[in-house]
Amino acid sequence: MPVSDRKLAYFLLRFTLGVSIFFHGVTRLPHLGMFANTIVKQFADTPLPAFLVRQFAVSVAIIEAITGFLLITGCCTRWALVVGILTMASFIFGNSLIADFPTVAIDLTYTAIYAVLLAALEYNSISVDMTLLKGLSRSPRTLG
């Protein structure tokens, strides 16, 4: 049975967002200290303590890499999208705090893509989630 256009479009958007977010995280991992130092400098004139900014910067790279991988594969898609939206909310908070409103606009665009994917989750048929769900529905353990 051919895949519907909506299911294919969902897969392509989820996959593309996943690639973008995955590489946001992965490319920062080898230079995590330098990345964290840059973020701490950006937030030096805010009320946020430097040690919290540093911890957040380090965790963001890891969160992005994991979230991106989950979106690429379509594994735990709903939770990956929720984590993505919450991550973007934290970026919007931080970028608003330093009055970097052009970046806030970009962050809102990412947030909208995450939200569209979450709202259309019923089309997530090309995914590890769906493969696992189909496997579980055939399992004798699920029959009662």
Q: Tell me how far apart the alpha carbons of residues 77 and 11 are, in angstroms, rounded to a whole number.
A: 11
Helical spans, DSSP H, in 1-144: 5-26, 32-42, 50-73, 77-97, 101-119, 128-137
Q: Tell me how far apart the alpha carbons of residues 1 and 74 are, in angstroms, rounded to a whole number.
A: 20
- What pLDDT, on the 0 to 100 scale, is given for residue 137? 57
> What are 43-82's pLDDT values in tens digits?
999 999 999 999 999 999 999 999 999 999 999 999 999 9
Among candidate residues 62, 64, 58, 101, the one with its CA nearest the CA of residue 84: 64
Among candidate residues 126, 112, 24, the one with its CA nearest the CA of residue 77: 126
Domain ranges across the chain: 5-143
pTM of the predicted model over 0.85: yes
